[in-house]
A and B are shown apart, each in its own frame.
Chain A
């Protein structure tokens, strides 16, 4: 599949931004600078970027608890992301969502999701909106090997199939649902084969190879845009860090980790781009430097941002609701702000 130089620049930069973002969070979390818990996407960059390379701003994605990569690939602002993860007022969700719920509906990012398998029904809804409004918008539904066992995923595949919804289901099989491999948890072992039972095209691809993802994604998204219905892609990939930060990862071997580090998607992107004369080493290095600077800027922005005003506690629960009813059975429990 043809890919423009501009798109190559964009894709490599997005992948590098994700890697730098996640590596930085890994370090800062260990240093106690990040509240709560975070699930890092490092290692899986080619999947989010290979898919989102074909999406427009008005297309939609649904995401997972491991959603930072999807956000960056879909164009959510890095500063707002870092501020959100830090619980700051300037965050993408005003500090109310955190890592697991970063969203930017205006950018078509319908939210990271703390519920494994929470996304497929939502993606069908976004697809239904496009169908009924007669647009050619596409929704990409990211989920993991763990969610491939959830009933909501099967229900979503069925609905998308019978209604020919413009949804691309992307199973990011990173080898582990928390600590457990699909070798234990997936009956039949073949996740892509499951989707074929719903009558849609389905393929398993090397999710560590940006160009393989880009090609499969291009076909699937074009198909959805033409109104020909859903496609399923199982992208076989690997997460470098644990399920969440703080995970001691006592469920896989160091040899296995080494093996996948040698297949690193960014390294392979560079090799391919240079050997095929698409981009020069100097150009790639310059993108790396720019990405590092952008992450540094985002971290600084987050650090300098204020914490939310306590009055924010009571906003955004509803579009319209009596403020006093948010503290029921109490008279003037808190000052009323709007």
Chain B
């Protein structure tokens, strides 16, 4: 199914694209509600000037309360188990909640409600439950936010059957995939990279839905496949540009959805190029990057002309100091070097 484009393409930031998707879905379906810590802010206050004091800690939900009110754009106390679990219960009983877990590192305080309740209810109940819940959460290093606010640990959620996991790299993908996530009847973890919020790009106007589970080839090439996720797609594209200048044609595959995984697009690219580099900002052990290598090893080994290369951070927490953090995040230089290494 192709993405649906109704109107002309114009430019929005990733933040604006997410905000627009939320607005359009809330208009379209009155059961869609938004909950989280300071998604508007100052809910104690009747002072009009305090309304929407934050609109989310980085302003992603700004303005929505003016259109939809505080019932549907609902500030929660700082109580992740409580409100994520309330999102699960609300989803099971007829609402379509979008819950904001401010940073993915906060999963530790509410993991049971996600992995034991939301993810398993449908199966445990023999198919009698539907949990149309979206958990929006921020990922990504590079913000000088240190170890507990910089994780990209989406692979944790990919590990759990019953959850779907999405990590868009561009404003258009963010809009289209969030709309799909909200309309989806299963729980979806929607990972927003905090360093992408200000990035601008063309975003279709009006209704725009990208089906979950479809990777996209962001740049075509014939010599080496670079599979990447979220912000690493941009680094991969930059690396591909530099490789082109060196006469190497790299194909960049943006996974976009991590669960379900689009095995077909990845395998077709590997079979075409015969070389594979995987770029992932998540911790390297038990990761999506490891999954892609497993996929290649089990189903495309005979097509590989060189050992697979991984470009990931080291298996350490995210450091604070800018020097250390910059060394931590996979860089375009490392991707270029990895790609060249596969070419011998």
Chain A residues with a Cβ under 8 A of chain B? 60, 62, 91-97, 101, 103-106, 110-111, 113-115, 118, 120-130, 132-133, 151-152, 155-156, 158-159, 162, 315-322, 324-326, 328-331
- The contact sample of 24 A-B pairs, CB cut-off 8 A, is A93-B126, A96-B124, A105-B92, A111-B125, A118-B113, A121-B81, A121-B83, A121-B85, A123-B89, A125-B85, A125-B89, A126-B89, A126-B90, A126-B93, A127-B89, A128-B86, A132-B95, A152-B81, A155-B81, A158-B79, A159-B77, A317-B161, A324-B263, A329-B263
Complex Cα distance A328/B162, Å? Answer: 14
Contact with A along B82-98 (1 / 0, CB 8 A): 11111111111111010
Q: Which of B71, B81, B186, B294 is the one whose CB lies under 8 Å from A318?
A: B186
Which residues on A sit within 8 Å (CB–CB) of B164?
318, 321
Q: Closest A-chain residue to B186, C-beta based?
A: A318
In the assembled complex, the CB of B87 is this many whole angstroms from the nearest CB of chain A, namely: 6
Which residues on A sit within 8 Å (CB–CB) of B130?
319
| A156 pairs with B127, CB closer than 8 A | no
Q: Does B72 contact A (CB under 8 A)?
A: yes
Among B136-188, those with CB < 8 Å from A are 161-162, 164, 184-186
| A110 pairs with B92, CB closer than 8 A | yes
Which residues on A sit within 8 Å (CB–CB) of B129?
103, 105, 111
Q: Closest A-chain residue to B120, C-beta based?
A: A101
| A122 pairs with B125, CB closer than 8 A | no
Which residues on B sit within 8 Å (CB–CB) of A133?
94-95
Q: Which of B88, B116, B127 is the one whose CB lies under 8 Å from A315?
A: B127
Which residues on B sit within 8 Å (CB–CB) of A318?
122, 162, 164, 186
| A322 pairs with B260, CB closer than 8 A | yes
Complex Cα distance A332/B198, Å? Answer: 43
Q: Which of B82, B92, B185 is the one whose CB lies under 8 Å from A152?
A: B82
A62, A129, A315, A318: most-surrounded residue (chain B CB, <10 A) = A318
Complex Cα distance A91/B260, Å? Answer: 29
Q: Does B246 contact A (CB under 8 A)?
A: no
B87, B89, B291: most-surrounded residue (chain A CB, <10 A) = B89
Q: Does B295 contact A (CB under 8 A)?
A: yes
Which residues on A sit within 8 Å (CB–CB) of B84?
121
Q: Does B261 contact A (CB under 8 A)?
A: yes
With A97-B126, A105-B128, A320-B186 given, is the CB distance from A125 to B88 under 8 Å? yes
Among B242-262, those with CB < 8 Å from A are 259-261
Q: A121-B88, A121-B89, A126-B92 are in contact. List 17 more A-B contacts (CB 8 A).
A: A93-B124, A111-B124, A111-B125, A118-B113, A122-B86, A125-B89, A151-B81, A158-B77, A159-B79, A162-B77, A316-B123, A319-B184, A319-B186, A324-B263, A325-B261, A328-B261, A329-B295
Q: Which of A103, A118, A123, A124 is the one whose CB lies under 8 Å from B125?
A: A103
| A122 pairs with B92, CB closer than 8 A | yes
In the assembled complex, the CB of A257 is this many whole angstroms from the nearest CB of chain B, namely: 33
Which residues on A sit within 8 Å (CB–CB) of B124?
93, 96-97, 101, 103, 111
Complex Cα distance A316/B129, Å? Answer: 9
Q: Closest B-chain residue to A321, C-beta based?
A: B260
Complex Cα distance A115/B121, Å? Answer: 12
A60, A123, A317: most-surrounded residue (chain B CB, <10 A) = A317
| A95 pairs with B299, CB closer than 8 A | no
Q: How many residues of B contact A (CB 8 A)?
A: 52
B84, B93, B291, B294: most-surrounded residue (chain A CB, <10 A) = B93
In the assembled complex, the CB of B83 is this many whole angstroms from the nearest CB of chain A, namely: 7
Complex Cα distance A220/B240, Å? Answer: 65
| B127 pairs with A125, CB closer than 8 A | no
In the assembled complex, the CB of B101 is this many whole angstroms from the nearest CB of chain A, namely: 13
| B90 pairs with A101, CB closer than 8 A | no
Which residues on B sit within 8 Å (CB–CB) of A123?
89
Among B294-342, those with CB < 8 Å from A are 294-295, 298-299
Which residues on A sit within 8 Å (CB–CB) of B265?
none
| A93 pairs with B89, CB closer than 8 A | no
Which residues on A sit within 8 Å (CB–CB) of B77?
158-159, 162
Which residues on A sit within 8 Å (CB–CB) of B291?
328-329
Q: Does B112 contact A (CB under 8 A)?
A: yes
| B93 pairs with A60, CB closer than 8 A | yes
Which residues on B sit within 8 Å (CB–CB) of A125?
85-93, 95, 97
Q: Closest B-chain residue to A113, C-beta based?
A: B117
Q: Does B213 contact A (CB under 8 A)?
A: yes
Which residues on A sit within 8 Å (CB–CB) of B76?
159
Q: Closest B-chain residue to A137, C-beta based?
A: B93
Q: Does B33 contact A (CB under 8 A)?
A: yes
With A151-B81, A326-B161, A329-B294 given, is the CB distance from A124 to B89 under 8 Å? yes
With A129-B93, A322-B213, A328-B291 given, is the CB distance from A124 to B82 under 8 Å? yes
Complex Cα distance A156/B86, Å? Answer: 8
In the assembled complex, the CB of A325 is this many whole angstroms from the nearest CB of chain B, namely: 4
Which residues on A sit within 8 Å (CB–CB) of B92?
105, 110, 122, 125-126
